[in-house]
Every structure is written in C-alpha cells, then in structure tokens.
Structure 1
Amino acid sequence: MSQQQYLQQLRTLKLSGMTQSLELQWSQPQTYDDLGFDERVGIMINHELTSRANKRLQRLLKAARFKEDSRVENIDYAHPRGLKKSQVANLLTGEWIGKKQNLMITGPTGCGKTYLACAIGHHACHHDYSVRYYRASRLFESLTISHGDGRYLKLINQMAKADLLIIDDWGLETLTQSQRNDLLEIMEDRHGSKSTIVTSQLPMTKWHTYIGDATLADAILDRLLHNAHKLQLKGESMRKAMSSLTEDEHMV
C-alpha cells in the first residue's frame, strides 16, 4: 500500500492529527529515523489527542458567542474598582462550576463586568466546560420569538445543557409576565445542576423589584442567589478613563 493510501485511510477514519504527524515523519526522515516504533506511534497518538482537544476548544468558543474576546491574563487589577486577584484566582480554579454554584457581578456601567464575565467564560472553555453568553435583552427577545416559531423547547434545552450560562446586562428593562415565566424556567432547569453568571448595574437589593412579580421573584432569586459568589465592583467607568487617555494622546 502506498503512503497516499495510508494517509487516505487515516482521513477516512477522521484521524487528522495522526495523518499530519505521519506526513511530517515521512517528509522529515532525518528527524524521526532514529526513533523506535513505539516512540513514533506515541508521537502520532499525541498529535491526534492535541488536534482533537484544539478542535473541541474551537467548537466551545464558537458556541459560546462571547461579546468580547476577553482573556483572564489581561484583566486590569490596577484600576480602582475593588477587584482583587485572589477573588479571580479562586474563580479560575473552576471549583464553583464543578459544585454547580453561581456568580453575580454587579457595579456601575463601564467598570468591566462584561469583560470579566467573558474572560471567566473563555477560561472555562479552555477547561472543557460548555458556555453560552447572552445579553439579557437579546435572551428575552430570542425566547419571545421562539414561543411563536416553535423553537422554545430547543432553546431552553440548549441553555439547560450549558455548563455555564452568562446573562449580561441584567436589569436594564422591565420584565413582562412571559419573561418572568421564562426566567423561572431557566433557573429551575439550572438550579443545582449547572452554573450561571449574571452581570448587572443594579445592586442585588433591587433585583426583587426589577423582576416585578413578588412570588416569581422569590422563586427566581432563591434559585439564583442562595449558592452564589458575589463580586461588587465600584469606581469610575474604565471606558471613560481609556477614552480620556486617548484624547490626551491625540493632543500630544
């Protein structure tokens, strides 16, 4: 059997990592000829495992649909907003996701809530957790539309299966009765089985009023808050500070 036939069979078996590794070994014989059979097979297997891990990561990142391409290594701790490295380091262990706990991030506009949530979500993807990101307004809009086109159960099930659900900009618009019911459905599905991040400009003391219906608010917040970690950010807008810096630079 020719080399091309071997490669084609590996592709048929969807072993792309091993295919690339074997092609490399054949194209650079001087590098691999001194290695034993077991070592060369081991290299091919490691290439395959690495290839599959990279492809899965790309699928997870694509499915998450993060608003920002955030990285935990780029989180700004110098800006005075009350964010401590120790708090973030504790969250990055992923233990809270393993325990199906939640994370609430509150603070004024521009203090980096979205960036922080997306960075934590991005980090979770790298540790093989499935993540879904939604702005609250678009989440409720999608749910409303799904009631009419028959996709509601599919959408709800997708959110229920995600290891980490991020709901960003919570509390900007008053909820309708239908949205309250949808929110309770989501929290009921995830309570004790998956983790949720919520970011909001509203202090948590006002969330009950924001939801509106006292009975539903009690049920939703009980499921959301009772096992939640809380980050309360403060200070001036980081976007405003960066904008001022840019203006100064332009004046130089």
Structure 2
Amino acid sequence: MLNHQTMEKLAQMKLSGILDGFKEQIDNPAFSDLAFEDRLGLLVDREYLLRDNRRLTRRFQEAHLKVKASVEDVDFQAPRGLDKRLFLELASCGWIGRKHNLIITGPTGGGKTYLACALAQKACREGIRCLYYHFPELLQDIGISRAEGSERIFARKLATRDLLVVDDWLREPISAEIARSLADLMDERFRNKSTLFATQFPVAEWHGRFQDPTLADAVLDRIVHDSHRIELSGDSMRKRTSDLTKSAT
C-alpha cells in the first residue's frame, strides 16, 4: 500500500523518471542487494537523464533546422576547400560562447546549408538555443512585423536565441526599409549573441546587395568584424551524390 501511494505521488509530481525506476527496483530483486544511497542515486540519474533528453528534444524542435545534419557525418574528402581542423574547432561551439559570428560562403550546391545545420545541431546538443531561418522567410516575417508595428519586439525575440542561422543570406536585394530592420536585428545581436550566415555571395559583394550604402555600412559593420569564415569552392555536392551522376562516370 505504501509503494502504491508513493507511486501516485511521484506521478502527481510528474517525476516519471523516478517513477519508472522505482517500479523497476520493486520488480527486480537484484536491486535489494544495493545500499539505499546507491538505489537513490540510480533513481536520480534516471530522472536527470529523462529531463535532459526532453530539453534536447525541445531545442531541436525550436531550432527548425532545414536538414538533418551532424558534424560526425560531414564529408571532408570532397574537394571543396573545407578545412577539417577549422570546422572541428568551430564544432566545439566556443565561438558561440564568445558571441562571434560565422560566415559560410560558396557556390550553389557546395553544402553550405548542411554545414550550417550540422553546426547548429551540435550547438543544440551542447545546450545552446538555436533558430534556423531561410532568408526569404526572414524577410517575410520582418515585413509582417513592420505591418503590425512590432519590429522591435520581433528583433528582441530573435535576440533570445544564442545562435541564429540565416541561410541564403542576401539572396534578395535589400531595400532601404528592410535594411533598417536588419540593422535593428543585428544591433540587438551584436556581441550579445552569435549569427551564422550561409550565402553564395562572397563578403566583398555584400555591400552591393543593398540599395542604400549607408544602411549597408550599418548592417555589415555589425557582422563582418567578429566573424569566422568558411569559404567553399568546387563542384556541387548534389552532383557528387547523385545516382545518375555516379552511373555516368
């Protein structure tokens, strides 16, 4: 009867890890040989692991990463100029802790999105809150926030994420109105949070993507000076991994 009451209380307190472990210890006589402290430690470990896994799952769900990617599966053999030492150093996530940015540039199909998502996935595993945005979708949400008069609220909301991934950065030419919103967003994140930019445009061409050069300076000044860089080259990774391409060689 006492065990039943204990299990009911554990369920009410939503301590499901301890509850499952407690049931296991009751059903398995082998646990009776363990000291009380050891049995208690096993229950606490089970609850801790369960909660840690839930937090990790929640971080993955919140990140909205475009592709399933991991640093362990990155192809370092493809001839695309990817420095393995640099990438693995970035995968340690120290740059995020230092509030630095990362810029990944390269041709279409070079694997920029995969690398960005792999680094974000690793950051999630390290307890870092991330958010992925495809640049056109970011512009759309900025436009909605401007129409609703909630631009500052939107910028501050994004500023809560330790790592913001902006994929296809500057794919669309930037009007003066959008540049002002981007300046606000980058100002909120400048040396407070980290942003990862993946783009086919070399940094030297970024300024020309803005209609207003003064606003371009305001946006880019908050990005490029504290940024690590990965510059890719070579053929499309899609070409290398296509079954049709392989059969033709």
TM-score by length of 2: 0.95
Q: How many Å separate the matches in 2 of 1:237 and 1:173? A: 22
Question: What SS is found at the alignment partner of 2:157?
Answer: helix
Task: Give the aligned partner of residue 132 of structure 1.
Answer: 131
Q: How many Å separate the matches in 1 of 2:150 and 2:2? A: 50
Is 1:146 matched with 2:145?
yes
Aligned amino acid, residue 62 of structure 1: Q
Deviation of 1:76 (Å):
0.4
Task: Give the aligned partner of residue 223 of structure 2.
Answer: 224
Aligned amino acid, residue 82 of structure 1: G
Task: Give the aligned partner of residue 113 of structure 1.
Answer: 112
Is 1:102 matched with 2:72?
no
Q: How many Å separate the matches in 2 of 1:141 and 1:22? A: 50
Identical aligned residues as a percent: 38
Deviation of 1:222 (Å):
1.1
What are the Cα deviations for residues 83-140 of structure 1, in whole angstroms up to 9, with x where unaligned?
1210111101211111100000000000000000000000000000000000011011
Q: How many Å separate the matches in 1 of 2:234 and 2:37? A: 59
Deviation of 1:176 (Å):
2.1
Q: How many Å separate the matches in 1 of 2:120 and 2:218? A: 26
Q: How many Å separate the matches in 1 of 2:124 and 2:25? A: 32
Matches within 5 A, 1:203-242: 203-242=202-241
Aligned amino acid, residue 45 of structure 1: V
Aligned length: 249
Q: How many Å separate the matches in 2 of 1:103 and 1:248? A: 32
Deviation of 1:150 (Å):
5.5
Deviation of 1:248 (Å):
5.6
Question: What SS is found at the alignment partner of 1:197?
Answer: strand
Task: Give the aligned partner of residue 195 of structure 2.
Answer: 196
Q: How many Å separate the matches in 1 of 2:223 and 2:246? A: 44
Q: How many Å separate the matches in 2 of 1:58 and 1:73? A: 19
Is 1:25 matched with 2:22?
no
Contact 2:163 2:196 in 1 (8 A): yes
Deviation of 1:224 (Å):
0.5
Task: Give the aligned partner of residue 35 of structure 1.
Answer: 34
Task: Give the aligned partner of residue 8 of structure 2.
Answer: 8
Aligned amino acid, residue 199 of structure 1: A
Deviation of 1:11 (Å):
2.2
Question: What SS is found at the alignment partner of 1:21?
Answer: helix
What are the Cα deviations for residues 191-218 of structure 1, in whole angstroms up to 9, with x where unaligned?
0110010011001000011123111111
Task: Give the aligned partner of residue 121 of structure 2.
Answer: 122
Q: How many Å separate the matches in 2 of 1:153 and 1:23? A: 51
Deviates more, 1:218-227 or 1:154-163: 154-163
What are the Cα deviations for residues 30-72 of structure 1, in whole angstroms up to 9, with x where unaligned?
2311111000000011111111110000110000000001011
Question: What SS is found at the alignment partner of 2:195?
Answer: strand
Contact 2:103 2:196 in 1 (8 A): yes
Give ranges in structure 2 of 5+ residues lacking alignment.
Answer: none
RMSD value, Cα? 1.7
Aligned amino acid, residue 54 of structure 1: N
Task: Give the aligned partner of residue 184 of structure 2.
Answer: 185
Deviation of 1:241 (Å):
2.0
Q: How many Å separate the matches in 2 of 1:47 and 1:229? A: 39
Question: What SS is found at the alignment partner of 1:161?
Answer: coil
Alpha-carbon spacing, 1:31–1:211, altered in 2? closer, same or farther (3 Å): farther
Aligned amino acid, residue 84 of structure 2: K
Q: How many Å separate the matches in 2 of 1:135 and 1:4? A: 51
Deviates more, 1:34-43 or 1:4-13: 4-13
TM-score by length of 1: 0.94
Task: Give the aligned partner of residue 47 of structure 1.
Answer: 46
Q: How many Å separate the matches in 2 of 1:154 and 1:17? A: 38
Contact 2:239 2:245 in 1 (8 A): no
Contact 2:152 2:184 in 1 (8 A): no
Alpha-carbon spacing, 1:248–1:140, altered in 2? closer, same or farther (3 Å): closer
